[in-house]
Structure 1
Amino acid sequence: PASLSSAADEARSDVKTEAARLEANLTLAEQALDRKIEIEARLIPEKEHEADRLTAELSELEKETSALNSQISEKTSEAARIAEGLEFQSRREAETHLAALKRQKEELQAAYEKAKSAYELCKGETDTLRGRADSLKSRLEGAPEIDRSAEQSKKEVLTGQKQAANAELDELSGRLHSNRAIFSALKEYTAELTEADGTRSWRKALSDTACGTVSGKEKIKLETYVQMTYFDRILARANTRFMMMSGGQYELKRKTEADSNRSQSGLELDVIDHYNGSERSVKTLSGGEAFKASLSLALGLSDEIQSSAGGIRLDAMFIDEGFGSLDEESLGQALRVLQELSGAGRLVAIISHVAELKEKIDRQVLVTKQKYGGSRAEIRV
């Protein structure tokens, strides 16, 4: 925009300079043409005619003055004759009449002086104009003949060039105005975009933090972060059961670091093996060990809910399958934990096909599939 504005200003200056030069040439040509036409066609004859007219008027005025002087003489003689032959009723009337005649004389004299002054002035102007006319004639004697049609053609060409230059200037001014408006709007849009981008940046940072997608950091969502606190409390209660079921060998531990910064983390579990002092993933547990870990977590969750829910008590627990993967020792450990829960006033129901459990569970509901469809339930106490 700055370079375009500079180019437009330079173009406007060049156009104005060329237009001024063309106008100056046109003006000089028109003035020369007008002077010659005025001198040849009007100025000298007109002034000579006016001088003749003024001379005639002066002559008339002189005649009128002479006539008026004659009238004054006649009136003076007549007044003297009348004065000799007539008697006024009073001296005052005679003086009044005489004063009137004097005023008339003075007025005529003033008119004469005015006409004389006008004549002298016109005569002076006529002499001056004649001198100027003679001077112009002497100057024009060696001047070339001016072709009026050629000069008119030049004038038309110059006028066309001037109009074209003005049209180009108007177009450049319009483009400059339009570009300035676009540049101003672009600046406003850029400012709004910068402000919006700043808002988007901090909102995205907040969103990435809440969604656990911050680059180079652990992928922990906000809800996962809140759940981690409750999960640690559940693990503390679950490990009490798990240590008992595993004979003090295993303890669950929440992983504090993810396997990679590209995966979500926060609720993964490791297991500590107290027999060899190692820590590994819960995925390495056997089927029976995994069942005991799951049962411990379920019991820990139950204990935590009852502890933090303000009077809510979970009086019943149903365990479906999972015992078939336990060896005899692990099965006994799991049953001891469940018997302790049952002895504490909680109903524990086990759904299983393991035959060894029949001998260790006193109260049973046996469900037998019928040969021709349906099932038969039998309660044993």
Structure 2
Amino acid sequence: AETARLAGALDGLFAEAGIAKPRAGEHQRAAAIAVERATAARERIVQMQAQADALRAQRASVETEKQVASALAQHLRANNFEAWLLQEALEALVTGASSILRELSNGQYDLIHDDREFFVVDHHDAGLRRAVRTLSGGETFQASLALALALADQLGGMSTNASLESIMLDEGFGTLDASTLDTVAATLENLAAIGDRMVGVVTHVQSLAERIPVRFEITKDARSARVERIG
């Protein structure tokens, strides 16, 4: 009875509005069409969202490539590439030399560089940074030797078919005082203990020569020269 009453009321509303009463089943068909259209629209939105996500990812990748290309272009422009290579080589050289200097100085010094100038960090003085020009003669020898050995390592690493297994030092040892000579000798002894490279020393200083475990003494007279191995 209630259903009939509501149906009658609905028919009255249609009549008042001048709208023809829908035939049976049209409501269901209209609803089904609306659902189908909504489902299709939702699927299109999902697809468009996936495409937008893919485009955003592609844009991020292209942006990264653009940054790399811009950096390369900057490095390759004029003398920038050469300067960049030199800076990288210097960084590697100083890093290697610092490691060697730390061992040669029994942990006292690290080597660093800043604005084209070399410094040592003195761990026996609360990490004080000192310009290399303030080093003593023996300390300067240690730093120079560390750089020479690091350079030898760097050059040897540039080729897989060659290695620098020996290095000769001719530093003018005759100008060094007794304390500095002692530092030099101790440095060479430390180097022999920690290294896998032969280090030769050319010197006329007898006190230094006597600290070298294996040496060749050269003597000469007016007519000839003689080489004798000692040790």
TM-score by length of 2: 0.55
Q: CA 1:330–1:317 in structure 2 vs 1: closer, same or farther (change >3 Å)?
A: closer
Q: Does 1:362 align with 2:221?
A: no
Question: Matched residue of 1:360: which SS?
Answer: coil
For residues 281-312 of structure 1, give each alpha carbon's deviation from its aligned partner in whole angstroms, at most 9, with x where no partner exists: 21221222111111000111112233342242
RMSD of aligned residue pairs (Cα, Å) = 2.7
2:122 to 263, 273, 276: 273
* Aligned counterpart, 2:90: 231
Distance 1:294 1:321 in 2: 10
* Contact 2:138 2:183 survives alignment (8 Å): no
Matched residues in 2 for 1:318 and 1:210: separation?
Answer: 38
Question: 2:181·2:208 contact (CA, 8 Å) conserved in 1?
Answer: no
2: distance between equivalents of 1:362 and 1:328?
15
Match of 1:331 in 2: 185
Letter in 2 for 1:282: V
SS state at 1:275 partner: helix
Q: Tell me how many residue pairs correspond in the alignment.
A: 151
Gaps of 5+ in 2: 1-73
Q: Say whether residues 1:292 and 2:142 are aligned partners.
A: yes
State the identity as a percent. 31
- Mind listing any 5+ residue stretches in structure 1 that lack a counterpart? 1-205, 212-220, 258-266
**Which residue type is aligned with residue 247 of structure 1?**
N
3-state SS in 1 of match to 2:124: coil
Q: Distance in 2 between matches of 1:350 and 1:330?
A: 11
In terms of fraction of residues, the more helix-rich structure is: 1
Q: What whole-Å deviation, never above 9, does each CA across 1:151-170 have from its counterpart, x for those lacking one? A: xxxxxxxxxxxxxxxxxxxx
Q: Could you tell me whether the CA contact under 8 Å between 1:288 and 1:323 is conserved in 2? A: no
The aligned counterpart of 1:379 is 229
Matched, 1:240 2:99: yes
Q: 1:113-152: per-residue Cα shift (whole Å, max 9, x none)?
A: xxxxxxxxxxxxxxxxxxxxxxxxxxxxxxxxxxxxxxxx
Displacement of 1:320: 1.1
Q: Greater Rg, structure 1 or structure 2?
A: 1
Match of 2:203 in 1: 352
CA contact (8 A) 1:292 1:334 kept: no
Query: Structure 2 counterpart of 1:271, which letter?
Result: V
Match of 2:59 in 1: none
Call closer, same or farther: CA 1:210–1:254 in 2, change over 3 Å: farther
Contact 1:245 1:330 in 2 (8 A): no
Is this contact kept in 2: 1:246–1:330, CA < 8 A? Answer: no
Question: Quick check: 1:321–1:353 contact (8 Å CA) kept in 2?
Answer: no
Residue 316 (structure 1) aligns with: 166
Query: What TM-score results when the alignment is normalised by the length of structure 1?
Result: 0.35
Q: Which structure shows the higher strand fraction?
A: 2
Asked whether the equivalents of residues 105 and 187 of structure 2 are also in contact (C-alpha less than 8 Å), the reply is yes
Q: How far apart, CA to CA, are the structure 1 residues paired with 2:78 and 2:108?
A: 37
Summarize the Cα distance change of 1:224–1:368 in structure 2 as closer, same or farther, 3 Å threshold. farther
Conserved? CA contact 1:291–1:322, under 8 Å = no
Q: Secondary structure at the match of 1:251?
A: strand
Residues in 1 aligned to 2:214 and 2:106: alpha-carbon distance in whole angstroms: 27
1:253 CA displacement: 0.8
**Structure 1 residues 45-99: Cα deviation after superposition (integer angstroms, max 9, x where no partner):** xxxxxxxxxxxxxxxxxxxxxxxxxxxxxxxxxxxxxxxxxxxxxxxxxxxxxxx
